[in-house]
Structure 1
Amino acid sequence: MKKVTTFLFAALLPATALSQSCGSGNPDIRVTSSGNNFVATRSNGAQVYSGSDYRQAIQSALDSISYGQRVVVTASGSIGASTITISSGKTLEVCGTINVGYRAGRGAIESTNTNDVSIPYLTMTGNPYFGLRFSGTRNLKLGKITMNLSGGLGIRFDRDAAQNYNVLMDEIRVTGAGSHAVETWNIDGLQVGSVIARNVGECGLLLQKTTNARVGLVDGENVATGNGYATFRMANENGKLSNGQYTTNVYVDRVVSRGGGRGIFCVSQSGGAEINNVDLANNGNNAILIENCYNVKIKSGTVNGGGEVRLAARSEFANNRDISLTLTVNNNSVREQPCGTNIQWNISGNAKKTIC
């Protein structure tokens, strides 16, 4: 599956995201540095900006290009508690490292109500409120995104904002976020190669009100320690189609989780999901918790130790229905309480089973 995913994203992401190294070719503007001076220079040699403000150098470059053009940032620097905004049709390719600060309610880099924005490469450090923040996008493309953070949330699609359509992510790596590595709301059409989360306070990948999604790999270590979040979580009617049905439309190839809190968590009337394979071990909370979800299938995989595999329900929502779990579970327990509707258990291993 990994090879298939790589081919898929090579076909769908812009060439600069995968087939070329960062900064290659002839970008329309380059942002470089010499000491504390940052210069944004057009391909014809004309300067757009020269000065000590790293954020202004990048923003001036972005504001100076047109639809379909590209800015390459080879300089590293800090933007402080401020925001870089990307408007429609523009590519920001960062080969240096952007250090960011905390701006309440805002992203260090934002794109809202835009079409055809691309960030093929980005490395970010610091403690943002949101590292990347989006809403109302169409055909957004994120390539190889690395965030080595000391707090904050990595990538956020806003809850109370316009719908997003056709979002592509290649390889997202987040360490040290205090909240989620990647949190989505309101996306129709999502494709993700991989989300790799390490030492993240809440979720690795959290999908909410997201439909028609395909995810290659979600891989978490020490994610959601001490709380109810999970390496992979679906919540708030994720997978519910516009016709109110939960026909399968969320496909995940593989979830790997080590330690932390929960491994997989489906909750609050989510569903329409199929997970091909799981590899969960020593989760500090439930290895798997499915609570008030509909049409969820886990087709194969292993659970070793950690918290129990559990089907549960809260009274305010309809109970679980149409759930199928095929797993090898060792040194753990499997429990269904209360009994759901059309629940299929295919459990091997030494787990204690309390099922209906």
Structure 2
Amino acid sequence: MRHNRTQHRSRRGTRSITAASATVLAVVAATAAVQSNAFGTEEEPTAVSQSPTEAQAQDCGAGTFQAQVAKAGDTWKARHGDTVLYTGDDMFAAMNAGLDSLTPNRTTKERMVVLGSGTISASERLKLPSYTVLDVCGTINATGAVATDTGPIFSRDTTDVEVQHAKITGAPMYGMFFRSVSNLTLGQIDMRLSGGLGIRIDNGSKATPATNTRIDDVYVSGASSHAVETAGLDGVTIGTVTARDVGEAGLLLNTTTHAEVGTVDAQNVGTGTGYAAFRMANRNGRIGDGYENNIHVNQVIARGGGRGIFCVSESGGAVIDRVDIADTGNNAILVENCYNVTIAAEGGTVSGAGGIRIAARDEFANTSDVTLENLTVTDSFIKESPCAENTVIKNVELVNTTKDVC
């Protein structure tokens, strides 16, 4: 079975991705200048005339807000204007009180700022309604037993939800979990976990995808599962995913279309497994019955761990510009039953015994239209088995490396 192949990115995909990418790059550049203060001291925000979205590009907690939750000593206080909503030692109760004070059934964004660090139960989830902006200037530590589909920050069947800053520790089931949320924005997210999955964004069992997701900068360490996972999304823009000592994948895209990713930077991710720093699975990138280019990744960096790049189970339509992969315990790159995939369009290096494989399983259509180019491969191998359709290997320098291709 042959699949439709479009040379380079489709016009439709390029227009939508480029516009989104320009937005995220502007925001990431602005946040980088203040990132060192993102989780700093608890201070009263200075009121300025800015919308919640504009506030994302400045210090955590700064800008206008409708509700504020702040910790002084061991006491949390939630307020809305001059009205005190909660006073006590329960961080979760204080945050809930702040959220509940926002306008019901609103159609424009309202913002809650959290100043301070505390502990909540891993079975609890702060449910963000539509048109909510959350800015957490401190750490949420999730402890104790988990419950199904829970995470400290959660939203489901909503629109226009934004988390500007958040730092999460502990071992929740998910650090953040979003299901069927359109117009979702995540800004500067930092998770130093001891288990669980970092961020999962999906559409549940719905036939229609969740649309318009933006993630600026995510750091995840210590998760036992993935750092960031998507499923059933259309229209995704990601700045940087940094994964350290994560049990499975760094960035895993499932059944996701029209995605623009800046950098995936992974160390010791998926050690002892078949997972990868960057993985595409379950018909990721498939549009209708074809695989026009609609997944674009600027750079994948992988050191150690399982695999570097893994494309599997009828995924494709992807261009990865640059790769820097070394010393993976499993394959540096494995493309298996994927279609229209270009790796190292702008250059890269692969080194170590893991090797590069182009492969296929019998239960899916054979791999086709894979291009490896502009690579230097050192102390490794390139192997194609079984023979794929229309494989292109060009401008590849082999250093102490074998090549066994059709």
Q: TM-score range by the shorter chain?
A: over 0.9
Query: 2 CA distance for matches of 1:17 and 1:319?
Result: 45
Q: Equivalent residue for 2:161?
A: 117
**Structure 1 residue 100 corresponds to structure 2 residue 150:** no
Q: Does 1:49 align with 2:86?
A: yes
C-alpha distance in structure 2 between counterparts of 1:29 and 1:135, whole Å = 25
Q: 2:233 aligned with 1:233, yes or no?
A: no
Give runs of aligned pairs for residues 45-84 of structure 1, distance below 5 A.
Answer: 45-66=82-103, 67=106, 68-81=109-122, 82-84=124-126
Identity score, percent? 46
Question: What residue number does 1:290 align with?
Answer: 335
Are residue 178 (structure 1) and residue 220 (structure 2) matched? no
Structure 1 SS opposite 2:26: helix
> Which ranges in structure 2 are unaligned for 5 or more consecutive residues?
1-17, 31-51
Q: What does residue 38 of structure 1 align with?
A: 76
Quick one: distance in 2 between partners of 1:318 and 1:76?
51
Shift of 1:171: 0.1
| Cα distance in structure 2, aligned partners of 1:8 and 1:322 | 35
SS in 1 for 2:147: coil
| Secondary structure of residue in 2 paired with 1:59 | helix
Deviates more, 1:111-120 or 1:22-31: 22-31
Contact 1:223 1:259 in 2 (8 A): yes
Letter in 1 for 2:388: G
Equivalent residue number for residue 388 of structure 2: 340
Structure 1 residues 231-270: aligned runs within 5 Å: 231-241=277-287, 243-270=288-315
Structure 1 residue 34, shift from structure 2 partner: 2.1
2:65 aligned with 1:27, yes or no? Answer: yes
| Larger deviation, residues 245-254 vs 299-308 | 299-308
**Aligned pairs for 1:178-217 within 5 A:** 178-217=224-263
How far apart are 1:264 and its partner, in Å?
Answer: 0.2
SS in 2 for 1:192: strand
Write the distance in 2 (CA, Å) between the matches of 1:277 and 1:17. 29
Kept in 1: contact 2:128–2:155 (CA 8 A): yes
Q: Is the 8 A contact 2:203 2:210 kept in 1?
A: no
Deviation at 1:10, TM superposition (A): 6.5
* Structure-2 separation of matches of 1:32 and 1:310: 53
What is residue 355 of structure 2 aligned with on the other side?
308
Where 2:362 maps in the other structure, the secondary structure is: coil
Distance across 1 between alignment mates of 2:130 and 2:29: 22
Cα gap change, 1:294 to 1:345, in 2 (>3 Å): same
| Residue type of the alignment partner of 1:341 | E
Cα distance between partner residues in 1 of 2:231 and 2:72:
40
Task: State the distance in 1 between where 2:174 and 2:266 align.
Answer: 20
Distance (Å, rounded) in 2 between the aligned partners of 1:25 and 1:312: 52
Partner of 2:11 in structure 1?
none
Greater shift, 295-304 or 209-218, is seen at 295-304
Alignment partner of 2:191 out of 122, 144, 147: 147
1:129-140 to structure 2, matched below 5 A, reads: 129-140=173-184
Q: For residue 192 of structure 1, report the CA deviation from its aligned partner.
A: 0.1
Cα shift at 1:286: 0.1
Which one has more relative contact order, counting CA pairs under 8 Å at least 6 apart? 2
Aligned counterpart, 2:3? none
Q: How far apart, CA to CA, are the structure 2 residues paired with 1:160 and 1:26?
A: 34
Conserved in 1, the CA contact under 8 Å of 2:181 and 2:203? no
Q: Distance in 1 between matches of 2:300 and 2:157?
A: 32
Provide, for residues 86-127 of structure 1, a one-character-per-residue CA deviation record: whole Å limited to 9, x for no partner. 000001100011001342322221101000000010000000
Does residue 274 (structure 1) correspond to residue 319 (structure 2)? The answer is yes
Aligned partners of 2:26, 2:151: CA distance in 1, in Å? 31
Code of the aligned partner of 1:339: C
Residue type at the aligned position of 1:125: T
What amino acid does structure 1 have at the position aligned with 2:200?
Answer: R
Aligned-partner Cα distance in 2 for 1:253–1:343? 22
- Cross-structure match for 1:349: 398
TM-score by length of 1: 0.95
Match of 1:325 in 2: 372
- What's the Cα RMSD here? 1.7
| 8 A Cα contact 1:136 1:161, kept in partner | no
